[in-house]
Structure 1
């Protein structure tokens, strides 16, 4: 894999800006007027997860929050501030939690090898593995177990989004964004749109009947 030097990053930026101006002389003036992105994207910090590239989106289309293993912690003030701003100020129409296969955070949680702060951070994924251990261990390979755990992790984080006070306020107003769970298959570059257990969540009271 080819890596750029620091100097190349600056050079590439100038070339990119010039290309944009050639395509549209008013591009940056229009970009500077403000943002109204339709999507909030919550993803993993992994360097292989540039969703702008995978979705062919431009600056201004995705409002983005990323952390190790795409966690939605109900005590994470950073994430909650992003979510509140996205829903209540920007009025995003969709919230996407996106995980991926070959996720280091998921694998560390599965193997129990994480240490320090990361160990605490990925502990919810470790608990997911232990809760579903019989089913996961029945799968024939580590790769399949890790892939399934990555999917479980995404679904758990989407459920956490639905349980936030931000979303509960939006439900009461009857105007709330749609939520989605994605997994990126690193091997193929394809996004897998996971089916959500909406009926189960309705029965638990996590989401309204209109969800």
Structure 2
């Protein structure tokens, strides 16, 4: 028998109604235009953390930002979910920019530093652990209280590299499609984005941007 009691999420449905009413009042054509087409210029690859709402952070409306999120903003070449989002964004939506966005105080990054065990997710966080091991020489020079911030930045740098090395982005560059990849880290304490990887516009720039980004981490934390 179907449950006839009030929905435990009725307050969220009420919030939605109020939001839709406010939006209609300010722009009666908003939902009509939104339903007909999405035409974002940006793909945001970020963390699933509930404190990092993509659209709000960069002050963009629905339809202006294509979003993929997972724990610790990881991009790996075996993740068909992330790769499918990237392919659709690049080849169908023709976005101009891909932003890999981590955040300071990331629980996944901290779990790697603490060698914490949570079960299934440990397999996913192995990708972040690989970043830590790759840059262990840097991490060891950083004070304990700043290691999480440093690893958050290193993780973004490596994920930007993975994005650029994907066949999706490389094929786009080879056919002359304008596409720029960025690496940012968001500050929960101040709401500001910190650019840790300068804009990468082609494969020739990748190595230089990668080395420059690693040097930046060294200068900030070591």
**What TM-score, normalized by structure 1, do the two folds share?**
0.89
C-alpha distance in 2, partners of 1:46/1:192? 17
Q: Secondary structure at the match of 1:43?
A: strand
C-alpha distance in 2, partners of 1:99/1:153? 8
Structure 1 residues 197 and 8 mapped into 2: Cα distance closer, same or farther (>3 Å)? closer
- Does 1:188 pair with 2:190? yes
C-alpha distance in 2, partners of 1:203/1:21? 45
Q: Any stretches of 5+ residues in structure 2 without a counterpart?
A: 1-7, 210-222
Q: Which of 138, 143, 155 matches 1:140?
A: 143
C-alpha distance in 1, partners of 2:101/2:120? 22
C-alpha distance in 1, partners of 2:61/2:23? 11
Q: Does the 8 A contact of 1:163 with 1:206 survive in 2?
A: no
Q: Any stretches of 5+ residues in structure 1 without a counterpart?
A: none
Structure 1 residues 136 and 164 mapped into 2: Cα distance closer, same or farther (>3 Å)? same
Q: Secondary structure at the match of 2:117?
A: coil
Q: Does the 8 A contact of 2:77 with 2:166 survive in 1?
A: yes
C-alpha distance in 1, partners of 2:80/2:197? 28
Q: CA deviation at 1:179?
A: 0.5
Structure 1 residues 71 and 101 mapped into 2: Cα distance closer, same or farther (>3 Å)? same
Q: Which of 94, 113, 116 matches 1:113?
A: 116
C-alpha distance in 1, partners of 2:151/2:55? 25
Q: CA deviation at 1:41?
A: 0.4
1:73 is matched with: 76
1:64 is matched with: 67
Q: Does the 8 A contact of 1:162 with 1:206 survive in 2?
A: no
**What TM-score, normalized by structure 2, do the two folds share?**
0.84
Matched positions, count: 201
C-alpha distance in 1, partners of 2:89/2:121? 27
Q: Does the 8 A contact of 1:110 with 1:125 survive in 2?
A: no
1:202 is matched with: 204
C-alpha distance in 1, partners of 2:196/2:128? 18
2:168 is matched with: 166
Q: Does the 8 A contact of 2:184 with 2:197 survive in 1?
A: no
Name the Cα RMSD after superposition: 2.2
- Does 1:15 pair with 2:29? no
Choose 52-61 or 88-97, whichever is displaced more: 52-61
C-alpha distance in 2, partners of 1:92/1:116? 36
| Counterparts of residues 80-99 of structure 1 (less than 5 Å) | 80-99=83-102
